[in-house]
Amino acid sequence: MDGLNPRKVFSLLFIIGIAVVFTLQFGPGSNGFADSGSQAPTASAVATVNGKEIPVRDFSMAWSRQMNFLRSQGNPIPESVARQFGLDKQVLDRLVNAELLAQSAERHGITPSDEELRKLIHENTDFHTKEGAFDFARYQQVLRDFYRRTPQEYEQELRRQMAAQKMLDVVRTGAVVSDDEVRARYEKEGNQAKLVFARFLPTMFADKVPAPTPAKLAEFQKTHEKEIADYYAANSFVYNVPERIRARQILVKVAPDATPEQKAQAKAKAEDLRKQVEGGKDFATLAKETSDDTATKAKGGELGWVERTTWDPALADAAFALKAGEVTQPVESALGVHLVKVEEKKDAQARKLEDVKAEIATTLFKQEEAKGLAKAEAEKALAAAKAGKSLKEQFPVPAGQQPALLRFEAETKPEAVETDSFTAQGDSVPHLGPAPGLVKATFEASGPVVLGEVFTVGEANIVAQVVEREKPDTAGFDKRKEELRTQARQAKQIELTESFLKSLKKSGNVVTNTEAIDSVLGSAG
């Protein structure tokens, strides 16, 4: 049995708490199992489940509770962001799951007793007096003024919630865990290790590689013709560059539905601005003061380097016809009227393979040499580690800092990185990712030791030493046996619950209504 997935635990807790925390509500008249059907939900429903509608009102209440829960946990995210993360689909799925469970309970004849119903109602603090006792008059008043339900409607809904919970409890009773399963779980989780490693990347040593001599370069070209051709093909965008200009612009915006008079006024304004430039006014200053292009206004209209194909044809033709330092006449586009100043021009470049062979060969030669240097430095570090000088001594990280790898920054030199404890269940090493050879060697070690080879992970050469090694033993198993049994049972309960709900959906008919959800939350677009 694999370790508990926190997301699955969270979703399970929402399901198994439906009766206690009133997460879900059912509409009036939900006491009977509806006929199966594939009809679409009406405008007042977010879904139909085997013909039974889930009202918009119930979704709205469940959504409000979800957002209030997040706020109470210190996560006041906007509703639009919550939708981007699919929270609306999770809320709807919980409502659908609860309805499926309630219908299944009814088919199996599972109903709560009157005493169970009475007990749950009496435990709800909404119906208590200030002294903490259930009060029937308050019960009627709260249902009328806040729940907006009659006692009959509310108790009917509550019975269905409780029946759904009972159905779920029946499913979960099948989560029986044997001693062998608990032991197998311990064998996996109790077999742990912690590493310190250092990475040796070719990029760390590239500046130490001298340019090849003409003789070496000629020999390299002769023996690496295919690699040179492949490099040229993969990087053709570097060697074949279209004509470009570095430009600034001033935009006089025109609305799509502008009248001819408004368009004429915009053109006249652009012509006046051009006259100001001709009179000596700085284009960038004028752009900051007058441009309607909010993306570039603060930067003095700076557009950076632009290729012809990225612009409106009329604007591109006008701008690319200019010399550096010149300004276009007013040019109309769908956005309005533009003035463009060309700051700098670069002609198109079309460098053939023959023209750049030596350049590419030099690059590949240096890369190959840098790989050799990285491997040699890794071998040297491994020898020093075997002789007793730890990786942390060889490649210390400044006090109070994390290694560059953990700061998600480019590594300029090898640094000692310590992992968290990890198990042999997968092929990955923390902070390194997939490294099956390194994982295998780690768990073949019986204790702290320098691993006896340089490992290759991607482009990196890895030297590693095991600094902690924990193996499963009888004493450790006896200590964690009940904890592991609970975890294994919870994991199996989740699997059984998800499998049961999946089978209910497959054998039934669920139709959702996104338009109704949008009516509550607004469009997700």
- 363 and 340: one domain? no
What angle do helix axes 56-72 and 87-107 make, rounded to 10 degrees?
120
The answer as to whether 287 is a domain residue is yes
**Token pair of 191 as six digits:** 């077999």
How many C-beta atoms lie closer than 10 Å to residue 434's C-beta? 12
What pLDDT score was predicted for residue 185?
A: 74
What pLDDT score was predicted for residue 146?
A: 86
The answer as to whether 396 is a domain residue is yes
Could you tell me the CATH number of the domain that includes residue 71? 1.10.4030.10
What pLDDT score was predicted for residue 39?
A: 61
The answer as to whether 476 is a domain residue is no
- 202 and 334: one domain? no
- 58 and 84: one domain? yes
pLDDT tens figures, 3-60 = 434 333 333 333 333 333 333 333 333 333 333 345 667 778 999 999 999 999 889 9
Could you tell me the CATH number of the domain that includes residue 260? 3.10.50.40
Nearest-5° angle of CA 151, CA 153, CA 155? 65
- 35 and 169: one domain? yes
Looking at 470, 498, 513, which one is the last position of a domain? 470
pLDDT at 366 over 90: yes
How many C-beta atoms lie closer than 10 Å to residue 520's C-beta? 15
The answer as to whether 399 is a domain residue is yes
pLDDT tens figures, 234-243 = 998 888 889 9
Sign, Cα dihedral of 467, 472, 476, 480: positive
What pLDDT score was predicted for residue 476?
A: 66
Segment holding 417, helix H or strand E: strand 417-418
β pairing state of 244-253 and 336-346? antiparallel
- HEC readout, 239-267: HEECCEEEEEEEEEECCCCCCHHHHHHHH
**Token pair of 489 as six digits:** 């049972």
Indicate left, alpha or beta for 135 from its phi (over 0: left) and psi (-120 to 50: alpha). beta
- 109 and 248: one domain? no
The answer as to whether 454 is a domain residue is yes
On average, the pLDDT of the chain sits at 87
What pLDDT score was predicted for residue 80?
A: 82
- 275 and 406: one domain? no
How many C-beta atoms lie closer than 10 Å to residue 282's C-beta? 11
What pLDDT score was predicted for residue 473?
A: 65
Looking at per-residue pLDDT, the higher value among 160 and 475 belongs to: 160
- 375 and 420: one domain? yes
Q: What is the pTM of this model?
A: 0.49
- 76 and 128: one domain? yes
The stretch 416-428 carries a mean pLDDT of 90
pLDDT tens figures, 285-305 = 999 999 999 889 999 999 999
The answer as to whether 235 is a domain residue is no
pLDDT tens figures, 257-287 = 899 999 999 999 999 999 999 999 999 999 9
- 163 and 28: one domain? yes
The stretch 210-223 carries a mean pLDDT of 92
User: What's phi and psi for 462, nearest 5 deg?
Assistant: -115, 130
What pLDDT score was predicted for residue 48?
A: 93
Looking at 289, 324, 347, which one is the last position of a domain? 347
pLDDT at 499 over 70: yes
Domain span holding position 300: 243-347
- 204 and 72: one domain? no
- 96 and 52: one domain? yes
- 14 and 162: one domain? yes
CA atoms of 67 and 78, how far apart (whole Å): 9
The answer as to whether 45 is a domain residue is yes
The HSE-up count of residue 320 (CA atoms within 13 Å, CB side) is: 19
The answer as to whether 217 is a domain residue is no
Q: Is residue 154 a contact partner of residue 124, using CB atoms and an 8 Å limit? A: no
Counted domains in the chain? 3
**Of 342, 340, 339, which is closest to residue 267 (Cα–Cα)?**
339
